[in-house]
Structure 1
Amino acid sequence: MTTFTLEPQDNGRLQSLCGAFDEHLKLIEKEFNLNISRNNFTFTIKSNEENPKSHHEKLIQCAIKLIQDLYMETAPIKGKAKELELQNVHMALQERRMLSQVEPERAKSDVYSSVIKTKRGVIKPRGVNQVQYLHNILTHDISFGIGPAGTGKTFLAVAAAVEALERQEIRRVLLTRPAVEAGEKLGFLPGDLGQKIEPYLRPLYDALFEMLGFERVQKLMERNVIEIAPLAYMRGRTLNDSFIILDESQNTTVEQM
């Protein structure tokens, strides 16, 4: 039997963590085959087996880590605790199953505890590949992300840039992509090159609005703290203390790279 207490104590966050009629805790109980009871912010976890084996202690520690991580996700946004849904718990459990498939040494390392914290909430990578991708971004000067559309490449990169900006580790964020299209034609679109390419930069805008809010993004862009531009306009620039994200980089030329 193991007992632990959640900090900081916030009734709204506790309610969000446990769910209606403790449905979130019941789902965790079922996943780990454990019994979870609580008295306010103090939780007690024990095995359902009469003679628990050594690996049950590892399951208890995994359950504690999961509960603490979910509680962290309920961090208040604009003074109100973030609502956790049953889907969030399902996703967290699925992530744990995926991580259990990797080598134990890697699963225990800090590589798999990468979390992005923004003022709008906590962003966690989903699955082994996203975890490794985010870790590479945070620990290397240059990282490449390859994969089909919709797998979180741009979103996680923007999240890492926003966190670095919030921590004042960088002074500027530059988001760019080449003018050469990925299967689409730009010629028929009205306007100059910047106006032609702007619709294709929407994923970058969407990610920024999600993490910082529309008004803050507009203010930062007015001050050129955040800049979104075609790659053709980046030639010859000096960029110090900057986080640069090149989207659709497979369409760049050798000279541009």
Structure 2
Amino acid sequence: MTPPSTASEHAVEFPDNRLLIDLCGAYDAHLALIEKAFEVQILRRGNHLSIHGEPEAIGQAEQVLNALYARLEGGRSVETADVESLLRMGNSEADTGVRDGDQLEMQIAGGIEIQTRKKRVEPRTAAQKAYVQSLFDNELAFGIGPAGTGKTYLAVAVGVSMFITGHVDKIILSRPAVEAGEKLGYLPGDMKDKVDPYMQPLYDALNDFLPGKQLAKLLEEKRIEIAPLAFMRGRTLSNAFVVLDEAQNATSMQMKMFLTRLGQGSRMVITGDRTQVDLPRGTASGLADAERLLKTIPKIGFNYFTSKDVVRHPLVAAIIEAYEADDAA
């Protein structure tokens, strides 16, 4: 990239050359993301990074570089998703009213981490941090927003963390067994074989947080349960961390039934995406009803995500924004 004719140059020093290597990423991939985001050129010279570009862009790029270096100094890794997360902070000012610099400081020092058996999980956006905090603070919390924003993943991570620290005795994960827009026909096998395909995303999340043998044992002992929403009727869920995923596909009656299962010592999380309702035409979504009826009740947390919180491939955010723009037209 050729620096603009009005470009300035600014050098930033990073004392630890080993950390600087991790900061730059494999084949300077992290630097390439920052260059593209701010339309600057970054050259490495020893333990300095020289930034070429417009003065305002140089300041923004330096801020991101310093934030990433601070992560590394704190003993945390820097991956592509971490770089993309910090770059998204530059777009969050209009949504949160927080200056970009403050957002970056929150990302460095905001310090919300979820410890599981296999890895440490960190919320990557301001909305994700608020969501995780809400899961710890409230006995009932909702996470509402588009696909790829970490609603289910973070909820399961918090559930595993609370389970291994003894705050709850079991984890119960549930989903409505609703086909996503196509009829799959009759599935072979016993009841578990029939419902497991609907529950697979929950198994995937658990496999990220617990060793395979331990997970299998806990499932066998029913200390971790994964079951369709219809199986929840008549139960009282006490001393458990309970997650209802894809709640937009629960009917109003099912949602009321599920919410009233909450027992002593339990926490309940409801996640869903209002734009992906697979219920038959004319059937009201229980998630929409719950949001309307419960929003004014104290100690129930409602947390919302947008395309800016997508932590999958960057194209996912662009796809969501394109569909939202078409719906609004």
Structure 1 equivalent of residue 98 of structure 2: 104
Structure 2 equivalent of residue 73 of structure 1: 76
Give yes or no for contact 1:73–1:121 (8 Å, CA) kept in 2. no
In structure 2, the residue corresponding to 1:189 is in which secondary structure?
coil
Give yes or no for contact 1:112–1:132 (8 Å, CA) kept in 2. no
Count the aligned residue pairs: 232
Displacement of 1:253? 3.0
What letter matches 2:169 in structure 1?
R
Superposition pairs of residues 203-218 of structure 1, within 5 angstroms? 203-218=201-216
Structure 2 equivalent of residue 118 of structure 1: 116
Give yes or no for contact 2:116–2:161 (8 Å, CA) kept in 1. yes
Change (3 A) 1:28 1:252: closer
- The reply on whether 1:90 has 2:92 as its aligned counterpart is no
Displacement of 1:205? 0.6
What do the CA deviations read for 1:195-217 (whole angstroms, capped 9, x no partner)? 32210111111111112232221
Give yes or no for contact 1:116–1:160 (8 Å, CA) kept in 2. yes
The whole-number CA distance in structure 2 between the counterparts of 1:4 and 1:164 is 38
What letter matches 1:148 in structure 2?
P
In structure 2, the residue corresponding to 1:158 is in which secondary structure?
helix
The whole-number CA distance in structure 1 between the counterparts of 2:68 and 2:122 is 13
Structure 1 length as normaliser, TM-score? Answer: 0.66
What letter matches 2:231 in structure 1?
Y
The whole-number CA distance in structure 2 between the counterparts of 1:209 and 1:183 is 27
Identity of aligned residues (%): 36
The whole-number CA distance in structure 2 between the counterparts of 1:191 and 1:210 is 27
Structure 2 equivalent of residue 78 of structure 1: none
Superposition pairs of residues 131-150 of structure 1, within 5 angstroms? 131-150=129-148
Change (3 A) 1:64 1:176: same
Give yes or no for contact 1:24–1:89 (8 Å, CA) kept in 2. no
Displacement of 1:160? 1.5
- The reply on whether 1:158 has 2:156 as its aligned counterpart is yes
In structure 2, the residue corresponding to 1:125 is in which secondary structure?
coil
Match of 1:168 among 166, 169, 175: 166
For the aligned residues, what is the CA RMSD?
4.4
Displacement of 1:185? 3.5
Ranked by relative contact order (alpha carbons within 8 Å, sequence separation 6 or more), the top structure is 2
The whole-number CA distance in structure 1 between the counterparts of 2:210 and 2:28 is 31
In structure 2, the residue corresponding to 1:250 is in which secondary structure?
helix
Give yes or no for contact 2:163–2:170 (8 Å, CA) kept in 1. yes
What letter matches 2:119 in structure 1?
G
What do the CA deviations read for 1:199-246 (whole angstroms, capped 9, x no partner)? 011111111111223222112212222111112222222322211011
- Any gaps of 5 or more consecutive residues in structure 2? 1-12, 52-58, 257-329
Structure 1 equivalent of residue 175 of structure 2: 177
Displacement of 1:73? 2.9
Change (3 A) 1:169 1:64: farther
Give yes or no for contact 2:170–2:223 (8 Å, CA) kept in 1. yes
The whole-number CA distance in structure 2 between the counterparts of 1:154 and 1:254 is 21
